[in-house]
Amino acid sequence: MTDLTLSGPGGVFSADIAVPGDKSLSHRALMFAAMAKGDSLVTGLGPGADIQRTATALRSLGVSIVDDRVRSPGIRDWDEPTSAIDCGNSGTTMRLLSGVLSTSNIHATLVGDASLSHRPMARLVDPLTSLGGVITTSSSDTPPLDVGGATNVIAADFTIPIASAQVRTAFEFAALAATGPSTIDSPGGFRDHTERWLAAIGRGVWETDTKFRIVPGPIPPARYEVPGDPSSAAFMWAVAAIEPSATVTTRRISLNPGRLGFLQILESMGTTIEAIVTGSTGGDPVGDVTVTGGRLRGITIDGDLVASALDELPLVAVIGAYADGITSVRDAAELRGKESDRIDSVVAMIRSLKGGIEPRRDGFDVVGTGFLDGGVIETQHDHRIAMAAAVAATKATAPVVIRDAEIASVSWPDFYTTMEGLWS
Ligand code: S3P
């Protein structure tokens, strides 16, 4: 457990930086490649520990992953793992793999670290069992999960009450083994990476803006280039946003509409955004984004915008503290089930830095004073809290100590040095 003390450097900068491969798409690319029979090539995978968890899990099922080459016997010929699969801190590994395995003939137990062991898993049970999938949680609806060994996989039509891309994807992966087409529906705003990928390979089609039909059948091997992660780039965008005239460019970023909420928020708060689509990969638009800081004002964030900015809401609190007026986040009770209870950990972070913030049941209200002080941040085993605190530190009036700072490596091992590099 390493403490990191950050003080500045702060000030205006102009930078062009590379961000790691997208975490959501890296998990999906590995899983699609592993389900396929044959050789796939996946370049630009995210370097974080969460992606390593997915790779290790798939290896325990008999899939070979060496650098960017994936060789699989195909899901029907996967091995049964000889011990429990450890998903570490990675909720995406656990939820997506549960979907894949629930309707397979493989039995597996999925476990996680202290943070993941407290995260909600009941949300998977009804969607997956509607397909004849097999999944049980602990008595507190959390990991460990026992999955797989399905004998009768059937088609189903299911609507989930939350805009969760993880639950949608788990259902979609599971439904690939059904006897006929299934549909999944939910509120909007979610990242639709999986749906775009399935549509691109002819395994699904949109019925409405939110309802997707999955056409069962085999997955072909892939050649796929993972784009940059907007949820990682967001930390660099935020450093620019709180420093008037500072500017940062990030290239070849996934511009999936379900990932663009934070850019919309930054623009509404007074930041200048330039986003240019330069291509696409697996159905996802990809492009370059430049963010230039300006004078910030508080806004209210609610409805579908919440799902499309979900992982960036800790950053919204930091930016709100440096803005004029009140920034409110509502309809975001989902934050309570993340790597930490992100309403409590965001409130604690801002208060440690002597900012004004009040928790709500479903979000928080930040009083913008244009100022944060130094302090000690307990990261609660949550990479996005550690990294949001580092952004706050670039402008804080005294040093910020980040406890357990290396948790950032879950998504971005070189995060702190990359951030420092903005001024070099
Ligand atoms: C993810 C979906 C989101 C997001 C998470 C990654 C994904 O979670 O917060 O970091 O890759 O599908 P939910 O599905 O719980 O909204």
Task: Identify whether residues 209 and 105 lie together within a single domain.
Answer: yes
Res 10: pLDDT: 83
d(CA 78, CA 34): 9
Task: Identify whether residues 250 and 140 lie together within a single domain.
Answer: no
Q: How far is the CA of 161 from the centre of ligand 1 (A)?
A: 15
Q: How far is the CA of 123 from the centre of ligand 1 (A)?
A: 13
Q: Looking at the CA of residue 24, tell me the nearest atom of ligand 1.
A: 11
Instruction: For residue 347, report the phi and psi dihedrals to the nearest 5 degrees.
Output: -60, -45
Q: Is the CB of 166 under 6 A from ligand 1?
A: yes
Q: Is the CB of 260 under 6 A from ligand 1?
A: no
Q: Mean pLDDT throughout 200-225?
A: 97
304-354 per-position pLDDT tens digit = 999 999 999 999 999 999 999 999 999 999 999 999 999 999 999 999 999
Res 2: pLDDT: 87
Catalytic annotation on 141?
A: no
25-55 per-position pLDDT tens digit = 999 999 999 999 999 999 999 999 999 999 9
Q: Which of 206, 225, 244 is the last residue of a domain?
A: 225
In the chain, the number of structural domains is 2
CA-atom Rg of the chain in angstroms: 21
Q: Which of 225, 252, 272 is the last residue of a domain?
A: 225
* Residue 78 pLDDT greater than 70, yes or no: yes
Write the DSSP symbol of residue 21.
B
Q: Where are the beta strands (DSSP E) in 23-100?
A: 37-43, 64-66, 69-73, 85-86
Res 365: pLDDT: 98
Q: Is the CB of 210 under 6 A from ligand 1?
A: no
Task: Identify whether residues 351 and 370 lie together within a single domain.
Answer: yes
Task: Identify whether residues 67 and 160 lie together within a single domain.
Answer: yes
d(CA 286, CA 217): 28
Q: Which of 190, 205, 225 is the last residue of a domain?
A: 225
Q: How far is the CA of 210 from the centre of ligand 1 (A)?
A: 16
Task: Identify whether residues 110 and 9 lie together within a single domain.
Answer: no
Write the DSSP symbol of residue 388.
H
Instruction: Return the CATH number at 117.
Output: 3.65.10.10
Q: Is the CB of 310 under 6 A from ligand 1?
A: yes
Res 149: pLDDT: 95
Q: Looking at the CA of residue 231, tell me the nearest atom of ligand 1.
A: 10
270-294 per-position pLDDT tens digit = 999 999 999 999 889 999 999 999 9
For 299-324, give one letter per residue: b (16+ CB within 10 A) or e: bebeebbbbbbbbbbbbbbbbbbbbe
Residue 73: is it exposed, middle or buried by C-beta count within 10 angstroms (0-12/13-18/19+)?
Answer: middle
Write the DSSP symbol of residue 70.
E
Q: How far is the CA of 324 from the centre of ligand 1 (A)?
A: 30
Q: What is the mean pLDDT of the chain?
A: 97
> Which mutation among 97, 167, 310, 339 tests ligand 1's pocket best, with the greatest number of atoms within 8 A of CB?
310
Q: Is the CB of 24 under 6 A from ligand 1?
A: yes
Residue 122: is it exposed, middle or buried by C-beta count within 10 angstroms (0-12/13-18/19+)?
Answer: exposed
Task: Identify whether residues 321 and 408 lie together within a single domain.
Answer: yes
Q: Mean pLDDT throughout 84-110?
A: 98
DSSP assignments along 144-203, one per residue: -EEE---S-----EEE-SS--HHHHHHHHHHHTTSSS-EEEE--S----HHHHHHHHTTS
Q: Which residues on adjacent β-strands are paired with residue 364?
A: 329, 359
Task: Identify whether residues 368 and 415 lie together within a single domain.
Answer: yes
Contact 97, 86 (CB under 8 A): no
Q: Biggest alpha carbon distance in the chain? A: 62
Pick from 52, 56, 51, 50: nearest CA to 89: 50
Task: Identify whether residues 63 and 119 lie together within a single domain.
Answer: yes
Residue from 50, 86, 229, 311 carrying the catalytic annotation: 311
Q: Mean pLDDT throughout 211-218?
A: 98
Cβ partners under 8 Å of residue 290, min gap 6: 247, 248, 249, 250, 273, 274, 275
Q: Is the CB of 26 under 6 A from ligand 1?
A: no
Domain that holds residue 272: 4-21+227-423
Q: How far is the CA of 41 from the centre of ligand 1 (A)?
A: 24
Q: Which two tokens stand for residue 22?
A: 């997208």
Q: Looking at the CA of residue 165, tell me the nearest atom of ligand 1.
A: 14
Task: Identify whether residues 43 and 182 lie together within a single domain.
Answer: yes
d(CA 151, CA 283): 33
Q: How far is the CA of 24 from the centre of ligand 1 (A)?
A: 7
Q: Mean pLDDT throughout 380-396?
A: 97
Task: Identify whether residues 298 and 382 lie together within a single domain.
Answer: yes
Q: How far is the CA of 23 from the centre of ligand 1 (A)?
A: 10
Q: Is the CB of 165 under 6 A from ligand 1?
A: yes
Neighbours of 258 (CB within 10 A): 24
pTM of the complete model beyond 0.95: yes
**Confidence band of 235 (pLDDT split at 50, 70, 90):** very high
**Confidence band of 194 (pLDDT split at 50, 70, 90):** very high
Question: Whose alpha carbon is nearest atom 11 of ligand 1?
Answer: 24
> Which mutation among 164, 226, 315 tests ligand 1's pocket best, with the greatest number of atoms within 8 A of CB?
164
CA distances from 158 to 24, 180, 181, 302 (A): 23, 14, 12, 25
d(CA 338, CA 171): 20
354-375 per-position pLDDT tens digit = 999 999 999 999 999 999 999 9
154-185 per-position pLDDT tens digit = 999 999 999 999 999 999 999 999 999 999 99
Q: Is the CB of 94 under 6 A from ligand 1?
A: no
Q: Is the CB of 281 under 6 A from ligand 1?
A: no
Question: Whose alpha carbon is nearest atom 16 of ligand 1?
Answer: 164
Res 1: pLDDT: 65
Q: Mean pLDDT throughout 407-420?
A: 97
Side-chain-side CA neighbours of residue 270 (13 Å):
19
Neighbours of 209 (CB within 10 A): 9
Task: Identify whether residues 79 and 198 lie together within a single domain.
Answer: yes
CA distances from 168 to 27, 230, 403 (A): 14, 20, 34
Res 173: pLDDT: 98
Task: Identify whether residues 149 and 268 lie together within a single domain.
Answer: no
